[in-house]
Every structure is written in C-alpha cells, then in structure tokens.
Structure 1
Amino acid sequence: MNSVEKRAILGVGGIFALRMIGLFMIVPVFSVYGDNYAHATPFLIGLAVGIYGLGQAIFQIPMSLAADKFPRKPIIMLGLILFAAGGIIAANATDIYQVIIGRALAGSGAVSAVLMALLADVTREEMRTKAMATMGLTIATSIMLAFAFGPLLVGSLGISGLFWLTAGFAILAMLLLFVVPTPMRVLKHNLDNKSIGEQLATVLKIGDLNRLHVGIFALHLTMTAIFVILPHQLTEVMGLSVRQQGLVYLPLLFVGFAVAIPFIIIAEKKRKMRQVFLSAIAVMTAALAFLAFGSQIGVGIIVGLLLYFMGFNLLEATIPSWISKRAPVANKATAMGLNSSSQFLGAFVGGAMGGLLLNQSNLLAWGLLSLVMGIALLLIIPIAQPPYLSSTTVTIPKNINIQDWSRQMLAVDGVDELVVMAKEQVAYLKLDKTQLTDDSRQQLSSLAQSPLDI
C-alpha cells in the first residue's frame, strides 16, 4: 500500500471504530440498566437499543445518493454532527422516550456507506480488497470491543456516561476526517442528469447485491437481538453481573477473530469468497440452533457464542469488499447505502424482536433467530463469485491542467474510472483489461509521461 492508501485506511478506520464503539457500548447493558428510566418496558428498552438502526436505515440511502453526486466529505461531517447531537440528548435523558429520541437522532447521521465509498475512491483496485477487508475487521472488532468495554465501564460511568462517551467519540471522528485524502472522481457516465429513481434502479437490478443486503440484514438482526437477550441469561445461568460479562465477551472476541482471519485470507487470496461466505452463514445458523438447546448451561452459551462470533467476523469482513467489487463504478455509494440501510434496519428489527423475546423460553428465542439466519442462507445460495478487476497508480505530470488531463485519460478505451488526488499528485485508474489495446496502453503511457505497467 502507498502512503495515500495508508492515510485513508487510518482515517476511515478510526472514524468507523469511534462510531461503532460509541453506538454498541450501550447494547449489552441497556436491557438491564434501561429499567432505571421512567416509563421503561421490555419493548421500549428493546426499541431504544434498536431505534438508531431505523434512523440509519431511513437516511443511509438519501445520503448515499447525494454522495454519488456531490463531494463525500461534507456529507460525512454532517452525519458526525448528528451522531454527536444524539449522544448528548441521550446522555441528558430522564425517561425512556428521551433516550429513544437521542438514539434515533444519532442514527440519522447515516454515513457508513459514504465512508466506504470514500475509502473505495482513494484505494487502488488491487488494494481495495485489503482495504475493505480491513474495514470489515475494524467494524467487527469495534463492535466486539464495545460489547466487552460497555459492561466494564457502565459501573463507574453509568448509562449517561456511556452516552457522553458517544458524543466525545463523534468529535474525535470529525478530527480524523481531515486525515483522509480528498479525492476528485472522474467518471465516464456523469450522474448529474440521472434522477434518484434511475440511480436506485441501476443498483436494485443487480441480484447479487440484493443477496448481500439480505445477508447483512440477518446478521445485524440476530446480533442486536442476542445482546438484548444475553445479559439476563448470563446472569441467570452463570451468575455473572453485567460488569463481569465483559470478561466473557473479550476472550470470545479474540478467539473468534483469530479463527476467522485464515478464512478471510482464503476468501480474498484464493478467490473463494462465495464458499467462505455461505459457510459462515451456515455456521451462524448452527450456532443459534445450538443455543436453543444448549444455553441452559454455561458451556453451551460459550460454545454457541464462539461459533456465532466466528461467522460474524467473517461476514463483517467480506461484505464490504464484495460490495466494492460488484457495485457499478458510478453508483458505489448508492450500493453501499442500500447495504448499510439493510444492516441498520436489521439492527432495528433485532432490537425490537429482542425486547419481545426477552421473557420467552430459550427454545423459542434462539430458535427464531436460527430460523432467520437459515432463511437468509437459502436466499443467498444462488450468489455468484464477485468480479476481480485491476487498477494502476499514475503520478500526475507537473505543469498540466488536471481537468483537461483527466478527461483525456478517461477517454482512453479500457479506462472505467479515474480518481484524482491533486494535493498528493496521484491518480488511480480503474481498468477493464479486456478492452485495453496496444494503442490504448501507448496513449496512457503518453499521457502519464512515463511507461505504465499495464
């Protein structure tokens, strides 16, 4: 990876980590501490946990559509401001309805897809797989760390203190945004004259993308529901306080993470993404089915959770990479927005479902969650392997008009996309090598004013 890509991964990864830790620290403790708010009921507690997902689901798509037409960074900044404001409202809440409002406002800062699209802009095709997998692992790790540290911190900070941390993390994320390079995208097909309906239709016609949306929906539905149900079961079965439960999540996180890494490498390097992806869903389905019968004893809970976390890490790491490969060049943010909307809609439904299942039998609660993952597996099975494209890096020649130079580069046959970072004097060319000819290679070398290895 070059220095531009490393900066981008550091900045975007840091923003993701701060947002995810802030959001998910609440999840494993709120079903217990939420009773302290006025007007709290099991359903409203579950709603407060999952409502941020509804805000994300509603606003991901419009923000992503805008990010395919306008610069991405101002949209990300707006989302982080809303995220911070929601944390402040929840931190000052005295009843459950105020918490729900704060969580909903935080969720309306729906910029996950825009962040992914920004990262895709500033990474080469060959490095994009590694970058997206890194983001997937960052997201999965951040969520798991949040599940671990939320219970450890709530005793000293209280629920309001965790919400204040959420707001503080949002401010830090705003500062990190300045670390990420600012790209200028140049596309063969301009979106300025495309309606929102046309943008959406282009993406919704791709069946494999829709299957990925189903996968992320089921993943976050089950994950959110689990952490509404689980704190009570760990107390009843293993006698653990909420603070002690964080010490259960941490080792499971690291073991599940370590086991998942070799399979992520196999998926990317050996181009076995489909096989690994479907296997991960099957493992998660089996893990939830195991919990339906084995969660009456501590060992059963530990084994079931470990299997689930292994599959969780695999899916979180592979889905962003797959979306970046399969999405149309000019509609990357829109495709990622639909995926993020599905993700957070799943979290919303999972939070509400977890609240409803809180007082149900283990067989019913875990069995229903296993059924959700099983149905998702059946719907996703027809998915094909993602395409594998190529790109190259060009140092922008000195003393040229970058706009004119970009248009000339993009006019060459075989060039699908050009991303220019004028400050760094670097451009990325996304190439379809099946359309490259000897003449087009010579044209590109001439425009680059140096030989290109393509």
Structure 2
Amino acid sequence: MSDTLHNTDHTSTHQQEARMPLTPQERKISANLALLFAVRMLGLFLLTPVFADAAKQLSGGDNTALVGFAIGVYGLTQAVMQIPFGMLSDRFGRRPIIMIGMVMFIVGGIICAMTDSVTGIIIGRAIQGLGAISAAITAWIADATRPEVRARAMAMVGGSIGLSFALSLVLSPLLVDSVGLSGLFWVISLLGFVCLLLTTFFVPTVPMHQQVIADVKAKEVLKNRQLFGLNAGVFCLHFTLMSLFVVLPSLLLQLGQIPLGDLWKVYLPVIVIALVLMVPAVFWIETRKQHIRGLLLCVGGLVGLLFVWQFVSASFWASVVALGVFFVIFNILEALIPSMISRATPPQHKGLALGLYNMFQALGVATGGAVGGLLVQYFSANTVFLLAAMLCLIWLWITYKTQ
C-alpha cells in the first residue's frame, strides 16, 4: 500500500513538473546559455566533418593516426581542465571563468589558422581545449533555474550540441571549399569572439549556491552509480562519434565519387531528417518520464546499427542511411543524458558533478579521434565500426546495471 502511495506521489510530482512553465527570466538565461554553448561547440565541431580529407594538404596530413589525434586532442585538454574550471567557476563566478576559456579558444583557433602542418593544428586545438567551460555553462543554467524545470533547461543545452554538430556537417564542407582550411579556422576564431560577447553582455548574473564545491571530494560524486553510468555513456557516445568521423569523410567521398565541397549535399538531408525524427522521440521521453527506457532503447539501437554498418560500409547509400539512423539516436541521447544528469546530481555537488560529466565527454572525444586514426592507419575502416559497436555493447550493460 505504501509503495502504491509513493508511486502515486512520484507520478503526481512529475506531472506537476511537466505542467510548470519556465519563468521569463529562466527562459531567457537558458536560451542565451544554450546559444552560447551551441556557438562554441559549432566552432569545435566545424573541423570534424572534413579534416580527415582536408588535412592531406598539410605537412603530416598523410599520417591518419596523427590526423585522428588532431581531431580529438582538444578533448584531451578539455578532460584535464573540466574539473578545475568547474571548481573555479564555483569559487570565482561563472562569467569570468567562461570569459577566460573563450579567450583561450580564440587564441588556439588563430594558431590553427596560421599553421601549415598537422602538428600546428594539434597545438592550436590543444590550447582551445584548455578553455574547458562546459561545466561552468551547465552550472550557470542550474543556478538560474528551479529544480522542477531544470531538466528541460538542461535538455536545451543537450539539444544545442546535436544541432551544432548538424550545422557543422553542412557548413564545414562549404567553408573549406570557399575559404580553405585556414579560412575555416578564422571562422572558428570569429565564433569564439561571438561567444565572448554573449558571455560578457547578454547573459544575466544569477546568485550561486553558497556551498563551495571545491571542498567536496570527487569520490563522493563518483560513488553515485547512476552518475557513473551516465558518465560512461557520454564517453562511449563521443568516442563513437569522433572515431566514425575519422573514417566517414573519405569513405563517403570515395564511394559517392563527389568533391569535398559537395559533401554537404549528403549531410544536409541526413541531418534534417534526423532532427525531424528526434523531436517527437525526445518529447515522448520527457513528458512520460521514460528516461531509462529511452536510454536503453537508444543504446541498444546503436549497438545493432554499428554491427550492421561494418558489413554494408562498401555501399554509398547504405552508409548514408546508416548515418541518418546514427544521428537520430545521437541527437536523442545528446538531449536525454544531460537531462538525466541534472536529475541525478545533488545541488551541492553541482559544479563538480557536471565537471566530471564533461570530463568523460571530452575523454571520449580525445580517445575516439586518436584510436580511430590508429585503427585506420594500421588495420581498416571496418575495425572502427566493430570497436565502436563493442564499446556501445559495454555501455548497454553498464546502463542496465546502474540505472
């Protein structure tokens, strides 16, 4: 009887949360920070869809392992700096820490724009990654929103990542074709400057929680089984994404017999269809509170897709369809995981927990690019699909055990 009452109260609470709207202030801050996050991630993502092919014009561009490392290296430095930047934002405020991070992003982009070697790109991308502001942005959103609506605000940020990657797939080939690889990095630096302006002038200041998170030990957050499962999941998701895009640009160009500047014609319809299909799925999961079921279904679908993809990767159209299915799943997970993180994170551990989450995400980016490059260099493209499938299978098992 008591369990029935508890479940009824729990359902009633969720229904109240679903009906509770964001205040104008919450909506404004969440939208501005989601835009800031989206623009910054667009700047980071713009290199990914084309660099495996465009790097051939650079010194060292024939070394696939080095190219893969250049794609993912910003994730390595992000991983190192996520927790320190999250803690610093808890101590000194979100705005100044984000401003420092964006200055580093701009400087790194300028270094990339002025180099003619893959090694120079690695240095510039590493400096960009040092400005690890993801935890500070998400903590700022948490500061500005009530617990009852915070999941929706966090989902806005998660969705902005998927949207940024979608835009990068379309814009990146066009930019490289029109202004070259160096010009692409100048555009990336310009996006960083836009983020700096947004941070400085457009996002209102809100009070933070009084408890200083720097005083909390990391192990107190790591003990949370649900957070561990979600952190492992975002690592696997971004490992898969970055490793695939070491393979896909050259694969699609070769199979489709198209120039680099026309690659957007492949990406655009795939992304549009994926976004259209993703929206009702996320809406259903959020309104019916089916987060765990949705997560399990998405990860299971990802495992099956990657196992099949290795056998059809020699077909252009099969690869295009597989890419579309991948992005439907990817966009759902990019909205779903931050929402679940926000629900599982104790308020007093907010900055530290979000720092750990973003650290795992960045590690996935770094290792996905590096390992994908090594596999292509010394084995074959199909080994990338196989390894990603096995990793997602482990993710599925972890999710089943921890959620």
1:7 aligns with 2:25: no
Q: Which residue of 1 aligns with 2:9?
A: none
Q: Which residue of 2 aligns with 1:383?
A: 402
Structure 2 distance, partners of 1:52, 1:70, is 24
Q: Which residue of 2 aligns with 1:82?
A: 104
1:281 aligns with 2:299: yes
Structure 2 distance, partners of 1:121, 1:365, is 40
Structure 1 distance, partners of 2:92, 2:24, is 25
1:21 aligns with 2:64: no
Q: Which residue of 2 aligns with 1:235?
A: 253
Q: Which residue of 2 aligns with 1:307?
A: 325
Structure 2 distance, partners of 1:113, 1:291, is 34
1:330 aligns with 2:353: no
Q: Which residue of 2 aligns with 1:38?
A: 59
Secondary structure at the counterpart of residue 184 of structure 1: coil
Q: Which residue of 2 aligns with 1:374?
A: 393
Deviates more, 1:371-380 or 1:341-350: 371-380
The residue type paired with residue 326 of structure 1 is: A
Deviates more, 1:255-264 or 1:155-164: 255-264
**Where does structure 2 lack aligned partners over 5 or more consecutive residues?**
1-21
Are the equivalent residues in 2 in contact too, given 1:287–1:304 (CA < 8 A)? yes
Among 215, 220, 224, the residue aligned to 1:202: 220
1:113 aligns with 2:129: no
Q: Deviations over 1:319-373 (max 9, x none)?
A: 1111111111111111111111111111111111221233543432311111111
Structure 2 distance, partners of 1:362, 1:77, is 40
1:160 aligns with 2:182: yes
Are the equivalent residues in 1 in contact too, given 2:143–2:209 (CA < 8 A)? no
Are the equivalent residues in 1 in contact too, given 2:244–2:384 (CA < 8 A)? no
Structure 2 distance, partners of 1:126, 1:59, is 30
Structure 2 distance, partners of 1:130, 1:336, is 16
The residue type paired with residue 294 of structure 2 is: V
Structure 2 distance, partners of 1:341, 1:290, is 30
The residue type paired with residue 48 of structure 1 is: A
Q: Which residue of 1 aligns with 2:12?
A: none
**Offset of residue 141 of structure 1:** 0.7
**Offset of residue 10 of structure 1:** 2.5
Q: Deviations over 1:10-65 (max 9, x none)?
A: 32122111111111111111111112222332111111111011011110011112
**Aligned pairs for 1:133-172 within 5 A:** 133-172=155-194
Q: Deviations over 1:94-130 (max 9, x none)?
A: 2221110000000111001110110111122232222
Structure 2 distance, partners of 1:280, 1:121, is 30
The residue type paired with residue 282 of structure 1 is: G
Percent identical = 36
Structure 2 distance, partners of 1:291, 1:241, is 23
Q: Which residue of 2 aligns with 1:180?
A: 203
Deviates more, 1:306-315 or 1:241-250: 241-250
Structure 2 distance, partners of 1:127, 1:176, is 23
Are the equivalent residues in 2 in contact too, given 1:284–1:308 (CA < 8 A)? yes
TM-score normalised to the size of structure 1? 0.81
Q: Which residue of 2 aligns with 1:59?
A: 81
The residue type paired with residue 43 of structure 2 is: G
1:129 aligns with 2:147: no
Structure 2 distance, partners of 1:17, 1:303, is 26
Q: Which residue of 2 aligns with 1:432?
A: none
Structure 1 distance, partners of 2:28, 2:107, is 27
Structure 1 distance, partners of 2:37, 2:338, is 13
Structure 1 distance, partners of 2:208, 2:137, is 15
Structure 2 distance, partners of 1:307, 1:282, is 13
Structure 2 distance, partners of 1:365, 1:329, is 39
**Offset of residue 75 of structure 1:** 0.8
1:213 aligns with 2:231: yes
**Aligned pairs for 1:396-407 within 5 A:** none
Q: Which residue of 1 aligns with 2:362?
A: 344
The residue type paired with residue 101 of structure 1 is: I
Are the equivalent residues in 1 in contact too, given 2:109–2:188 (CA < 8 A)? yes
Secondary structure at the counterpart of residue 38 of structure 1: coil
How many residue pairs get aligned? The number is: 379
Deviates more, 1:341-350 or 1:367-376: 367-376
Secondary structure at the counterpart of residue 208 of structure 2: strand
Structure 1 distance, partners of 2:246, 2:382, is 16
Structure 1 distance, partners of 2:90, 2:343, is 17
Are the equivalent residues in 2 in contact too, given 1:47–1:100 (CA < 8 A)? yes
1:258 aligns with 2:276: yes
Q: Could you say if the C-alpha distance between residues 153 and 186 of structure 1 is closer, same or farther in structure 2, counting changes exceeding 3 Å?
A: closer
Q: Which residue of 1 aligns with 2:374?
A: 356
Are the equivalent residues in 2 in contact too, given 1:60–1:113 (CA < 8 A)? yes
Q: Which residue of 2 aligns with 1:391?
A: none
Q: Which residue of 2 aligns with 1:442?
A: none
Q: Which residue of 2 aligns with 1:297?
A: 315
Q: Which residue of 2 aligns with 1:438?
A: none
The residue type paired with residue 247 of structure 1 is: K
Structure 1 distance, partners of 2:296, 2:192, is 35
**Offset of residue 156 of structure 1:** 0.9
Deviates more, 1:363-372 or 1:278-287: 363-372
Secondary structure at the counterpart of residue 116 of structure 2: coil
Q: Which residue of 1 aligns with 2:4?
A: none
**Offset of residue 275 of structure 1:** 0.4
**Offset of residue 67 of structure 1:** 2.1
In terms of Rg, which structure is larger? 1
Among 265, 282, 287, the residue aligned to 1:247: 265
**Where does structure 1 lack aligned partners over 5 or more consecutive residues?**
385-454
